[in-house]
Structure 1
Amino acid sequence: MHSHPESPSSDIEAHLSGLRQRVPHLVGAVVASSDGLLIAADLPETIEPTGIAALAAAQLSLSLTFVATTHGSNLHEVTIDSGGGHVVVYAAGPAGLLTVLTDTDAVLGRVHLEARPAARAIANLLTPAFVPAEVMMTGSGFALTSNGSRPEVPKIH
């Protein structure tokens, strides 16, 4: 496992290890900051964790912008289905994300059943003890202002 020295890495690594034990056909998992910095990873040696962390953060950010632009709300996760398996990126509070990689035999329902609570637990580990009064958490993990609106997202014309 790889970890970022300034994180509560042992607790996060325990969640990643637990996912591997509980989810059949899980290839690996990564926890990253919302800006794409690697926090912890449980991946095979053939997969480079810092690249996955950066790509996952970019995917989640793009998806959040897409949802906000189309008047959606409460983005929880993004699922990519490929010929080689699945990549699922879960919001883990305003500070991070959990990405899981599976092979083609994984059952997505089982993946979600185990990974969603892990993402919430990881969000709790990544959330600072002090959160400014103007920011509160939503069920999705993305911050809203105190009046309930999302931070301004640029409109695409």
Structure 2
Amino acid sequence: MSTGDTFLPRRTSQRPDLPPPVTLPPSLAGNPSLPYPAIGTELHELRLQIPGVQGSVLGGVDGLLITHDVPSALDPDDLAAMAAATFGLGRQVSLRLGQGEFRQSTVRNQSGYFAVYAVGPQALLSVVGADAINVARLHLHAPPVAERLAKLLAST
């Protein structure tokens, strides 16, 4: 596949079997390159604190992008959609095993990692990392970031 290929189809309408999308306040909606400052700071700091983090995305559990801190080589809409798919599978596993609510899932690929963390009941933090990333350090730093993001989303 070439770099410009689209990996996932774009949604054109809300499915009736899914909860309605969360309406964002004006401070969070709009241009994703100008995110709500505190949320943007959290995403940017995660990249600075952990060598190997290539970028992060904050999206809804419905797969829709809220905001991001990723380079132009990564499609934040696709990452938000993949995070929601990862969440859906993780949630089904946790329900089937009776292990409580979804918290986190990590996918290791040949050249890197994709980790998804729950941000409250309605959002997900996804992180793309290089193969050399210290995954233990990521798992140490990302959950508190997810908790702070949940508080920021709840307070708006």
- Distance, in Å, in 2 between the alignment partners of 1:12 and 1:61 is 24
Q: Which residue of 1 aligns with 2:22?
A: none
Note the alpha carbon deviations across 1:26-70, whole angstroms, 9 max, x for none: 111000011111111111111111111011012102210121022
Q: Which residue of 1 aligns with 2:139?
A: 112
Report the AA paired with residue 23 of structure 1: I
Report the AA paired with residue 143 of structure 2: R
Residues 1-157 of structure 1: matches in 2 within 5 Å?
4-5=29-30, 9-127=36-154
- Distance, in Å, in 1 between the alignment partners of 2:144 and 2:98 is 26
Q: How far 1:128 moved relative to its partner?
A: 5.8
State whether residues 31 and 98 of structure 1, in contact with CA within 8 Å, keep that contact through their aligned partners in structure 2: yes
Give the secondary structure class of the aligned counterpart of 1:62. helix
Aligned length: 127
Give the secondary structure class of the aligned counterpart of 2:99. coil
- Distance, in Å, in 2 between the alignment partners of 1:23 and 1:13 is 16
Percent of aligned positions that are identical: 32
Which runs of no fewer than 5 residues in structure 1 stay unpaired? 130-157
State whether residues 95 and 126 of structure 1, in contact with CA within 8 Å, keep that contact through their aligned partners in structure 2: no
- Distance, in Å, in 1 between the alignment partners of 2:88 and 2:153 is 18
Report the AA paired with residue 60 of structure 2: S
Give the secondary structure class of the aligned counterpart of 1:57. helix
Q: How large is the RMSD of aligned CA atoms in angstroms?
A: 1.9
Q: Which residue of 2 aligns with 1:136?
A: none
Note the alpha carbon deviations across 1:74-99, whole angstroms, 9 max, x for none: 32100101111111100000120100
Report the AA paired with residue 131 of structure 2: T
- Distance, in Å, in 2 between the alignment partners of 1:55 and 1:25 is 20
Give the secondary structure class of the aligned counterpart of 1:51. helix
- Distance, in Å, in 2 between the alignment partners of 1:128 and 1:6 is 20
Which stretches of structure 1, 4 residues or more, deviate above 6 A after TM superposition? Answer: none
Q: Which one has a larger percent strand, Structure 1 or Structure 2?
A: 1
State whether residues 95 and 127 of structure 1, in contact with CA within 8 Å, keep that contact through their aligned partners in structure 2: no
- Distance, in Å, in 2 between the alignment partners of 1:88 and 1:71 is 22
- Distance, in Å, in 2 between the alignment partners of 1:75 and 1:53 is 16
Relative to 1, partners in 2 of residues 1:127 and 1:6: Cα closer, same or farther, differing over 3 Å? farther
